[in-house]
């Protein structure tokens, strides 16, 4: 390992510190606000529950609400974690001093992306731990898998956009809105171009499909939550679930690699 890589490894502590103050704390605050209403519902239900059956119902209610909340919250935590990850340094000109030093630009941002992912997971774990300690004793570990998968897929695309655009939040919103619009406007079963778009567009719908299965899969007691019972509901054991996860992961990894190529080829002041 070169000296530069070693020093960059040590710089990870500073990047983690930046994450904590600039993104971690805001993620926790947003998470606390979004979880406040479901937490209140679970607390009230728990206070009225009597008997083993009622306890099981409250447990199920908690899991259902966590799953529903994290469908949105995972997305928000990931957006907070990747927004401006590269573009902020370009917009503010911070790159000028940073990369006059013997530092590889792609390696610097790859490390930041990895650390921000760990930060997103840590923020999620803290929110779940607080929920477990203060509201109701459930800890659906599948939620962490959901955030990890959301980070890899949505975050990977966000990372790529941050290397390309100085207005990544807005660009990412346009990309996602446009892809949803095209997906709805041109369903894959109706035309060849609909099928083409289905493969080309960011697979956000897949994320929706796997959310329930992931949270359910991490908690054996939650078999009936979410979309269970509906024909489209996925189980962790379904081949379609694995397919969806791989599709999402491939998109994320592809976007991440593309981002590194952009960072390697495209001048920062361009």
Partner 1 sequence: MIELRDVTKIYPSLFGQPVRAVEDFSLRAEPGEVLGIAGPNGAGKSTVIALLLGYLAPTRGTVSIAGRPPREYITRHGIGYLSELIAIPPRWTVDRALTRYGLLAGLAGTALAARRDELVELLGLRPHRRKQVRQLSKGNAQRLGLAQALMRDDRVMIFDEPTHGLDPLWIQRFRDLARALRRPDRTMLVASHDLDELQRVADRVAIIDGGRLQRIVDTRAAASAAHGSRQPYVLTLAAGAEGLTAVFPGARPLGGGVYEIPPLDLSALNAGVARLIASGALVSAVAPAYSVLERQFREAVGERTT
The residues of the shown chain that bind partner 1, judged by CB under 8 A, are: 3-4, 7-8, 10-11, 14, 92-105, 267-270
Closest approach of Cβ 238 to partner 1, in Å? 46
Interior angle at CA 160, CA 118 and CA 157, nearest 5: 70
Q: Which is nearer to partner 1, 2 or 232 (CB)?
A: 2
Residue 76's contacts (CB-CB under 8 Å, 6 or more residues apart) are 27, 30, 31, 34
Residue 205, phi then psi, degrees to nearest 5: -60, -30
Q: Which is nearer to partner 1, 4 or 196 (CB)?
A: 4
Q: Quick one: which of 125, 128, 99 has its CA closest to 264?
A: 99
Tracing tokens 């401006």 back to the chain, one arrives at 84
Closest approach of Cβ 11 to partner 1, in Å? 5
Q: E strands of the chain, at which residues?
A: none
Closest approach of Cβ 54 to partner 1, in Å? 50
Closest approach of Cβ 114 to partner 1, in Å? 17
Burial class (CB in 10 A: 0-12, 13-18, 19+), 2: exposed
Closest approach of Cβ 144 to partner 1, in Å? 30
Q: Which is nearer to partner 1, 248 or 262 (CB)?
A: 262
Q: Which is nearer to partner 1, 6 or 40 (CB)?
A: 6
Closest approach of Cβ 15 to partner 1, in Å? 10
Distance CA(124)–CA(30), nearest Å, equals 11
DSSP string, 221-262: GGTT-TTTTSTT---TTSHHHHHHHHHHHHHHHHHHHHHHHH
Q: Which is nearer to partner 1, 101 or 196 (CB)?
A: 101
Q: Which is nearer to partner 1, 23 or 206 (CB)?
A: 23
């Amino acid at each position: 390992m070169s000296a530069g890589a070693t020093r960059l490894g040590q710089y990870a502590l500073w990047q983690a510190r930046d994450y904590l103050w600039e993104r971690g704390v805001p993620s926790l605050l947003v998470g606390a606000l979004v979880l406040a209403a479901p937490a209140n519902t679970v607390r009230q239900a728990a206070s009225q529950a009597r008997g083993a059956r009622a306890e099981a119902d409250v447990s199920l209610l908690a899991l259902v609400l966590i799953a529903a909340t994290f469908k949105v919250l995972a997305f928000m935590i990931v957006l907070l974690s990747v927004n401006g990850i590269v573009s902020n340094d370009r917009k503010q000109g911070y790159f000028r001093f940073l990369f006059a030093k013997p530092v590889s630009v792609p390696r610097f941002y790859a490390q930041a992306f990895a650390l921000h992912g760990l930060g997103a997971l840590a923020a999620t774990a803290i929110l779940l731990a607080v929920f477990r300690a203060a509201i109701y004793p459930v800890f659906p570990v599948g939620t962490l898998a959901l955030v990890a998968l959301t980070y890899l897929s949505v975050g990977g695309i966000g990372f790529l956009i941050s290397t390309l655009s100085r207005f990544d939040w807005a660009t990412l919103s346009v990309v996602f809105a446009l892809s949803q619009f095209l997906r709805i406007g041109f369903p894959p079963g109706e035309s060849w171009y609909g099928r083409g778009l289905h493969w080309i567009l960011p697979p956000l719908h897949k994320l929706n499909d796997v959310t329930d299965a992931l949270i359910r899969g991490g908690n054996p007691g939650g078999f009936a939550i979410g979309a269970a019972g509906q024909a489209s509901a996925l189980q962790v054991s379904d081949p379609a679930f694995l397919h969806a996860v791989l599709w999402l992961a491939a998109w994320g990894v592809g976007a991440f690699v593309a981002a590194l190529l952009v960072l390697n080829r495209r001048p920062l002041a361009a």
